Amino acid sequence: YHRNLDLSSGINAEYGGYAALACALKLLYPTRGDVSEMARLGSGSACRSTAGGFVLWEKGEREGGEDSVARQLFSPSHWPELRILVCVVCRDEKHVPSTAGMQNTVNTSALMQHRITHVQERIARITRAIEQRDFATFGEITMRDSNEMHAVCLDTFPPIAYLNDTSHQIIRTVHKFNSDKGAIRAAYTFDAGPNAVLFCEEGDYSELKGVISDQFYGEKVTQLVECKLGCGPMLLK
């Protein structure tokens, strides 16, 4: 297993390791259980990395969580024009670890309770957008969901502020990019950290990357990582 992003920096780089470990154990010791359930024991995000393409982490209904597993919605080839650009803003370890932060959010944030009420409806809408390769809808839902998650973090007591000034500047830059285009042609999302993950389609990628590079690369963004949809775990010989 090789990684090229830092652990604990808010890019969720550790989940690939847990997913790889779970898949390797499944090969060595075949069981009837779902490999994504095994990966989830290490990291919630890890279960989504046990399949390629677009993956949904099912909430599940059983008290023990056995049915809270991941399944592929669409293969990596479903939307070949989709491009991803990771903007590494900060490599430092998060001041509030994701698990501890989420536990406190659930206990103290009133906004979190509101967020829970419309998660399933939002999943259904973005699934349709991905199925139809509707970037404008996909992008808007992605950005709104990211904004809401970080609003919930700020509503936690004491508040959790994962984004920094550069994160907010990237957000404004993406919205200006879209305004100049007259449509949503780029989108952002942020995990539990200041590092931005940007989406666009192939036709806008070079221009978007150029805008980000010109405005941020160097002092504010230390690394730009070009990505496409992953194919899932592979056995290397």
CB 37 within 8 Å of CB 17: no
Average pLDDT, 10 consecutive residues per value, the chain (237 residues): 49 73 86 84 84 92 86 95 96 77 92 94 97 98 98 96 97 98 98 95 98 96 92 81
Give the other-Cβ count within 10 Å of 117's Cβ.
8
Check: pTM over 0.85? Answer yes or no: yes
| Residue 113: Cβ within 10 Å count | 10
125's enclosing H/E stretch is helix 119-132
